[in-house]
Amino acid sequence: MNEKTAGTTPAGILAVDVGGTGLKCAVIDDHGTMISERERVDTPHPCPPQALLDAYAGMAPKLPAFDRIAIGFPGVVRNGTVLTAPNLGAEAWAGFALADAMASRLGAPARLINDAEMQGLGIISGKGLEMVLTLGTGAGTALFRDGVLMPHMELAHHPVHDNLTYDEYLGVAAYEKHGRKHWNHHVGRVIELLYVLLHYDRLYLGGGNSKHVDLDLPGNVVIASNDAGLTGGAALWRGG
């Protein structure tokens, strides 16, 4: 356990948001309310597991006490283990037990989920078919039905246009290459394609590049707060 202030106030949850450009964390309460300022450092490139653990070991002591950890990770994860980490540039991630490693390094039990799914847990209404599309270094998705998380679809690596994957079509490299106007055309096209595919009731746009969205969005598409990438971590610990 983080020992600072331990025993004087209820310990919170260390919410960890792993991004391709930034590593972020904050302490939240059981309801998902942030009870600390957000800490952030640039993501090193490449970012093998040890570099990520070192970064969070440096940030965690600056925060209030926590007795649990919730990790949102940009890739396919299962049972506390990373299967893919396309935007961290390190093959060492395949099969890496990140939840156990983070728990051991920071001294508190940890749970791991895809980062788009963690953001979704912080913003969904719990009614109908709700989808999250994160726009950052790459593109992430999460799908919920009546508040229940559906099996993860790694659309980031699925072709969407001219053999380009969602990552290549919507990611930061596409934004920098094509410029804001053309990139927004890509976003609009994907919004339409996802609706044809899923007929979602609500689509939430998140991620660092959602601030660049400049479209007349349909009524069932909204831009969500990126704080949800941290506050959604509370849902990982509800029910014990």
> Using one digit for the tens of pLDDT, what is the confidence trace for 36-66?
999 999 999 889 999 999 999 999 999 999 9
pLDDT of residue 60: 97
Cβ atoms of residues 15 and 70 within 8 Å: yes
Q: Is 117 exposed, middle or buried (0-12, 13-18, 19+ CB in 10 A)?
A: buried
Q: Give the model's pLDDT for residue 116.
A: 95
Beta strand extents in 115-191 (DSSP E only): 129-135, 139-145, 148-149, 159-161, 164-165
Mean pLDDT over each residue of the chain, to the nearest integer:
93
12-117 and 124-224 have identical folds: yes
What's the pTM? 0.92
Task: Name the CATH topology of 124-224.
Answer: Nucleotidyltransferase; domain 5 (3.30.420)
Indicate the SS3 state at residue 75: coil
Q: What is the pLDDT of residue 240?
A: 63
Amino acid at 44: P
Q: For position 87, what pLDDT does the model report?
A: 86
Distance CA 134, CA 141 (A): 6
Distance CA 172, CA 59 (A): 26
Cβ neighbours of residue 127 closer than 8 Å, sequence gap 6 or more? 146, 147, 201
The low-confidence residues of the chain, meaning pLDDT below 70, are: 1-10, 240
Domain ranges of the chain: 12-117, 124-224
Query: Which one-letter amino acid corresponds to residue 18?
Result: V
Q: Which CATH number fits domain 12-117: 3.30.565.10, 3.30.420.40, 3.40.1410.10, 3.90.1150.10?
A: 3.30.420.40
